[in-house]
Structure 1
Amino acid sequence: MRSFRNIRHTLAGALVITSGTVFAAASSPNVAPSAPHMEVVAEWNRLPYDLGDAQAEQAYDSNQTYKKVLLQGVKVDSKGTMYVSTARWGGPDVPATLSKLVHKNGRWELQPFPSAAMNKVGDRQALQSVLGFEIDRNDVMWILDQGHIAGQPSAQGAEKLVLWDLKADREIQRYEFNDADSDKKCSFLNDVVVDNDRGFAYITDSGIFCDHLHGGLIVYDQKHNRAHRVLDQTVFTTDEADFHFRIDNEAVLSKTPMRTGADGIALSGDKRTLYWTNLSGHTLYSLDTALLRDFDSSESTLRTAVKRVASLPSNTDGMIADRKGNLYMTALELNGLMFRDAKTGAISTYAIHPEMAWPDTLSWSPDGSLYVVSGHLNKWVDNAMDFDNPAVPNFRIWKVQANGRSYTAK
């Protein structure tokens, strides 16, 4: 987050991985007896890469580059293949920022996706630092490249949205964000949701890389390959005053409170409502997408139309809707997931477990389950992650029973 500019790289580590570990929901007065089934499908102490080059893989280990790599996002395609993002917050030597998980030598490894060449640092055609991405109902991956490497200003053309057809294995469209869309010094392009019905995407910009937060939303029109920025540096896209939060009874960032603007984002199943939150806050906001799709809507009109939907029991980093419009939101302060009922608006805890530390991105799988990354981001940004003990799983991918369908479905 805002502290990424000052991240130190003095960690050390080892690898541990399991598959299919099953967890019962933690005992808590906030969790209903019918809490959903949860299991860990992959876990690591450090992230291993399948680079197709034994020498490069050896250098990755011997140079301890794994200290700089953090697991952030997971998405699942129609065949059940998992893809993960590892934004280059730790520096340019992170081997790949977007990868496909492949099972090799009895463990899950990260294979650069779509290719090693498409992950080359310094090549404006390639992916520089991917955090948020989405796979739509057509198996098209919408890849959001934040551009920034280790918090440095983005190079020309680095901040972009790339559409990659997984079935054809080729790029089908891209859009490079101009200076009116995003600030190449301050912006932090965070997450993206997709409306296949109308050909639009909605993006959160957390705006963390300047002394003041530069948060906002970006609306992308696929048909005309254009975008525009809205709610720039407003109360709706910045942090809440004096917000502090704790994970596992420890303050996040020991020296300076974390400040982050627009972050989690979700699109309702009927595509009529956009929801989002600021990481440094508890408020769930919404806005009518018809207004957002109309590029002639004035800022004053949009600001007046924003609704404060609810005050959440925890701040959230990732969120997603099902086809019925129910919301699933990560709950950082509760170590789990929250749920908002589309019919009643009631918000409750959904799946809680003490080992789901910093749940980040959510993804629908073909069988109607949710996949969730938990990555101890709070420890990573404070240089407190333990890479020495193979028994310590720093990064996990959870599978949580949900019995839903993706918001992108027809």
Structure 2
Amino acid sequence: MRDFRSIKHVLVSALIITSGTAFAAGPMNAASHPPLMEVVAEWNRLPYDLGDAQAEQAYDSNQTYKKVLLQGVKVDSKGTMYVSTARWGGPDVPATLSKLVQKKGRWELQPFPNVAMNKVGDRQALQSVLGFEIDRNDVMWILDQGHIAGQPSTPGAEKLVLWNLKTNREIQRYEFNDADSDKKCSFLNDVVVDNDRGFAYITDSGIFCDHLHGGLIVYDQKTNRARRVLDQTVFTTDEADFHFRIDNEPVLGKTPMRTGADGIALSGDKRTLYWTNLSGHTLYSLDTALLRDFHTSESTLRTAVKRVATRPSNTDGMIADRQGNLYMTALEMNGLMFRDAKTGAISTYAIHPEMAWPDTLSWTPDGSLYAVSGHLNKWVDNAMDFDHPAVPNFRIWKIEANDRSYTAK
């Protein structure tokens, strides 16, 4: 494994002016002190610790690893890493949520909370997890997409499960009804958590139909109910004629990728929700007080949406710190962007040519960021080499940030 501990990466420093938004050369002192970056885990193919030698052998011999992608990473208060592997490749993906464990000198994926809770077809179990969050109380908010390989979800499959990591038990769940999500079209993507008021906010990319069915979902933990908002609006769908490239190659060149509401972040004071559409450059926001009031009309919400900025790259994952600054993955730039909460200026933050398709971001207990890079562009084009890729297919990066999670008190 390569060691990036001593490498300081040069930031992209050009000043870009787009739609009235300035893009400067990094936050604070970034020009003189670029953030340190290191790879803490990497794989060409993802290995599982299933507690069953025959199952592990079958996983390798059947080349099931070609169906498994690393998407999300989150870290608990003890520094334990958890990862999501949504079952986009089919039902034989061994687990969709896992804890990383060291085995024979390498990191392996151990089904979490256990094998049974990852059983395909079991309404109580996790079917296809992409987005999840660990809050300040070490409660994991698990967002289950429900869809297996893009097929319509079965009853109870699309759900939000709250799992207490300290007691290792489920404490609450909510199954999304037909008003919350479309069981054919929805693509429940990511979730952020407001511990202060007991709310969560979810993006739905809506990719599984010919037309995008994007939207946001607001979840009230105290009443265990949800409400879908901004359904199939300009704020939750792709931008016209949007095409993007990674490593100078078009993503889905024959059929341009169309994805609605995706990246989502909650400000440190919990007053502002930010989100983006993957197929677009616009950063949107809404006052959470309006979203928390389920009596707020849809027309009022649409009028209140703010177009915060036009960014130099589209974004998949994003996250805020306690001060309200935003960190956003930059797919077209192979790295991260930063939005200063005080000035609104957006700058490049950490760029590396091998950080291909940076996805989820997570805060660590020491105030650093973890980021997944997973070469999704290669997988969707059926071009991923699982044996001898030029760069490891899946990586978890640690990036210097020196701050606290938005969930902190």
The two structures have a TM-score, normalised by structure 1, of: 0.94
Alignment match, 2:156: 157
Matching residue of 2:22: none
**In structure 2, distance between residues paired with 1:259 and 1:22:** 38
Alignment-derived partner of residue 3 in structure 1 = none
Alignment-derived partner of residue 96 in structure 2: 97
CA distance in 2, matches of 1:408, 1:157: 28
Q: Which position in structure 1 is the counterpart of 2:197?
A: 198
Instruction: Return closer, same or farther for 1:243/1:61 CA change in 2, 3 Å cut-off.
Output: same
Give the corresponding residue for 2:321. 322
Distance 2:2 2:124 in 1: 36
Which residue does 2:9 correspond to in 1?
25
Counterpart Cα distance in 1 of 2:168 and 2:353: 39
Within 2, Cα distance between the matches of 1:28 and 1:244?
A: 22
- Whether the aligned pair in 2 keeps the contact of 1:117 and 1:126 (CA below 8 Å) is yes
Matches of 1:21 and 1:48, distance apart in 2 = 25
Does 2:268 align with 1:279? no
Any idea what the Cα deviations from partners look like across 1:344-364, whole Å, max 9, x if unmatched?
101000000000000000000
1:203-230 Cα shifts (integer Å, max 9, x gaps)? 0000000000000000000000000100
Alpha-carbon offset, residue 34 of structure 1 = 1.8
Which string of whole-angstrom CA distances, capped at 9 and with x for unpartnered residues, describes residues 305-358 of structure 1? 000000001000000000000000000000000000000101000000000000
Q: Distance in 1 between matches of 2:71 and 2:386?
A: 17
Give runs of aligned pairs for residues 209-358 of structure 1, distance below 5 A.
Answer: 209-358=208-357
Q: Does the aligned pair in 1 maintain the 2:4–2:37 contact within 8 Å?
A: no
| Contact in 1 for aligned 2:260/2:279 (Cα 8 Å) | yes
Q: In structure 2, how many angstroms separate the alpha carbons of the residues matched to 1:123 and 1:18?
A: 40
Q: Tell me the equivalent position of 1:12.
A: none
Aligned equivalent of 2:144: 145
Supply the distance in 2 between the matched residues of 1:281 and 1:391 (Cα, whole angstroms): 29
Gaps of 5+ in 1: 1-16
5 Å matches for 1:161-172? Answer: 161-172=160-171
In structure 2, the partner of 1:366 is 365
SS in 2 for 1:171: strand
Pairwise CA distance, 1:370: 0.2
Amino acid at match of 1:371: Y
> Could you tell me which amino acid in structure 2 is paired with residue 386 of structure 1?
D
Matches of 2:2 and 2:115, distance apart in 1: 26
Where do residues 7-86 of structure 1 align in structure 2 (5 Å cutoff)? 23-26=7-10, 28-30=12-14, 32-86=31-85
CA 1:292–1:249: 2 relative to 1, 3 Å = same
Computed over aligned residues only, the root mean square deviation of the Cα atoms, in angstroms, reads 1.2
Task: Quote how far apart the aligned CAs of 1:26 are.
Answer: 4.4
Structure 2: give runs of 5+ residues left out of the alignment.
15-24, 26-30
SS at match of 1:333: helix
Give 1:18 deviation, angstroms. Answer: 5.9
Shift of 1:29: 3.8
Closer, same or farther: CA 49–200 of 1 in aligned 2, 3 Å: same
Give, as a single letter, the amino acid of the residue that structure 2 aligns with 1:184.
K
Q: Secondary structure at the match of 2:302?
A: helix
For the residues of structure 2 that align with 1:23 and 1:157, how far apart are their CA atoms?
47
8 Å CA contact 1:357, 1:375 repeated in 2: yes
Distance 2:145 2:268 in 1: 26
Q: Which residue does 2:20 correspond to in 1?
A: none
Letter in 2 for 1:69: V
Q: Is the 8 A contact 1:22 1:40 kept in 2?
A: no
CA contact (8 A) 1:336 1:353 kept: yes
2:17 match:
none
Say which SS state the counterpart of residue 406 (structure 1) adopts: coil
Provide the rounded CA distance (Å) in 2 between the counterparts of 1:152 and 1:161: 19
Q: CA deviation at 1:24?
A: 3.0
Aligned residue number for residue 115 of structure 1: 114
Q: Give CA deviations for 1:20-42 in whole Å, capped at 9, x if unaligned.
A: 66543147445634210000000
Aligned to 1:188: 187
CA displacement, residues 154-191 of structure 1 (integer Å, 9 cap, x when unaligned): 00000000000000000000000000000000000000
Return closer, same or farther for 1:249/1:402 CA change in 2, 3 Å cut-off: same
- What amino acid maps onto 2:8 in structure 1? A
Displacement of 1:394: 0.2
Paired letter, 2:38? E
Question: In structure 2, what residue type is equivalent to 1:24?
Answer: K
Per the TM alignment, residue 287 of structure 1 is displaced from its structure 2 partner at its CA by: 0.1
- Asked if the contact 2:9/2:351 (under 8 Å) is kept, the reply is yes
**1:244, distance to aligned residue in structure 2 (A):** 0.3
Preserved CA contact (<8 Å) 1:21 1:41? no
**Is the 2:84–2:96 Cα contact (8 Å) retained in structure 1?**
yes
Tell me if the contact between 2:262 and 2:276 (Cα under 8 Å) persists in the aligned partners. Answer: yes
Distance 1:120 1:219, change over 3 A: same
The 3-state SS of whatever aligns with 1:114 is coil
Shift of 1:281: 0.2
What is the distance in 2 between the residues matched to 1:83 and 1:390?
A: 24
Find the residue that maps to 1:291 and give its secondary structure.
helix
Identity between Structure 1 and Structure 2 (%): 89
Distance in structure 2 (CA, Å) of the matches to 1:376 and 1:390: 11
Indicate the SS of the match to 1:181.
coil
Deviations 1:209-261 (A, max 9, x none): 00000000000000000001000000000000000000000000121000000
The one-letter code matched in structure 2 to 1:385 is M
Q: State the distance in 1 between where 2:104 and 2:3 align.
A: 13
Deviation at 1:388, TM superposition (A): 2.1
Aligned-partner SS, 1:220: strand
One-letter code aligned to 1:269: G
2:134 pairs with 1:135: yes
